Structure 1
Amino acid sequence: MNPVQTFWQDFVRLLPQLTEGEDPSASAMDALLNALQEIDERLYFFIGSTDTGMDLILSAEGYSDLMPLLNQIKASSPVVPGWQTVITYEADLLFGQRNLRVFPETENGDVLYKMGRKGDALWLSRPVNFSVVLPDMQAAKQFATQLKQDGYRFEVSSYDGAKDMQAQAEITLELIPGIENIDNAEKMLAALALSFGGRNDGWGCGEVSAADKSV
């Protein structure tokens, strides 16, 4: 029996202990978590109640690569009257809380947290635009030459947002907007721009919902 089948078998077996009294049995919760983490140790679960029944919430805990796996687990779920399986990228978002590993208290972490709270499917890849500002158009053209050699998509234009910077380059990267990916992209672009007198000037991307792409 594979770990997914074992998890669901344990879930059905432990149901009486998960629903008895006001609080589920701690030993049953631990046993179910152990079964879930036999599938992948990064997974976590929560149990919640609604007006229509009970939810088994399976969380990827902010690891985007776990979302396809959660879909597979959900697809294998047994029919249990009064229960439904809910999968989520990061469960704390459902409860109005902030996971500081996924959304650290940094400028980029703040942006990603706001996106997640609005319902953005942060586990899905999309074009992300990074802005680099440079002293003048000559520096921007030199920077653009380097970007072209490295195979990046970009546009160069004039800039009037700061006295010491008169040009900007908008670089588009296809990536999953997690904190590590965003931070690493900015570090890479900052290092590349430094020799041309440039610096990072923010990033942005369009919102993507889970319905826009298959997970």
Structure 2
Amino acid sequence: MTRDFEQFPDNDNGDILWQMQEDGSDLTEPHEVEYSIAFEKQDQAEKCAIYLLLEEQKISMYLDEETDPNFWILSVHINMELDYADINDLEEWFTKIAHQFGGEYDGWGCMTYVYDDEDEDLE
């Protein structure tokens, strides 16, 4: 299949989405996407968490002991189809919110599941 650069632009998000599609992930099916914001201080993360809860977002928060024990990570979990424009819009929103509360937007990720017809036959 030839890459459609309008649907999958030549940048990090476009590359990730293109690779996911090439690997067999159905981007039109909802995925739980996790957007992360990093904070140096717990109180900054907590204030941002309250703001996001008031915006009706599903969140989790933890101290990043594995990578850097000085950072608090606030994750926002959104069930959505994997659409390039929607991901970029949310990244812009989370970047703005991160700066508003003294944090830094740290990217997104999600699990992918590839099912083939043979898996269904085994059940």
Q: Same fold (TM over 0.5)?
A: yes
Query: Helix, strand or coil for the counterpart of 1:131?
Result: strand
Please, what TM-score do these two structures have when normalized by structure 1? Answer: 0.50
Deviations 1:5-34 (A, max 9, x none): xxxxxxxxxxxxxxxxxxxxxxxxxxxxxx
Match of 1:177 in 2: 82
Separation in structure 2 between the aligned mates of residue 146 and residue 205 of structure 1, nearest angstrom:
23
Query: Are 1:109 and 2:14 counterparts?
Result: yes
DSSP 3-state at the match of 1:99? coil
Instruction: Tell me how far apart the structure 1 counterparts of residues 113 and 81 of structure 2 sit (CA, whole Å).
Output: 11
- 1:122 lines up with 2:27 in the alignment: yes
The answer as to whether partners of 1:121 and 1:210 remain within 8 angstroms in 2 is no
Instruction: Give aligned pairs, total.
Output: 115
Q: Which runs of 4 or more aligned residues in structure 1 lie more than 3 Å from their structure 2 counterparts after TM superposition?
A: 160-163, 208-211
Residue identity opposite 1:201 in structure 2? D
What SS class does the counterpart of residue 64 from structure 2 fall into? strand
| Structure 2 counterpart of 1:154, one-letter code | I
TM-score between the two structures when normalised by the length of structure 2:
0.84
SS at match of 1:101: coil
Please provide the CA RMSD for this pair: 1.9
The answer to whether the aligner puts 1:133 opposite 2:38 as a matched pair is yes
Higher relative contact order by CA 8 Å / sep ≥ 6: 1 or 2?
2
- The share of aligned pairs that are identical, in percent, is 23
- Structure 1 residue 143 and structure 2 residue 14: aligned? no
Larger Rg: 1
CA distance in 1, matches of 2:26, 2:33: 14
What residue number does 1:74 align with?
A: none
1:188 equivalent to 2:93? Answer: yes
Q: Is there any run of 5+ residues in structure 1 with no aligned partner, and where?
A: 1-94
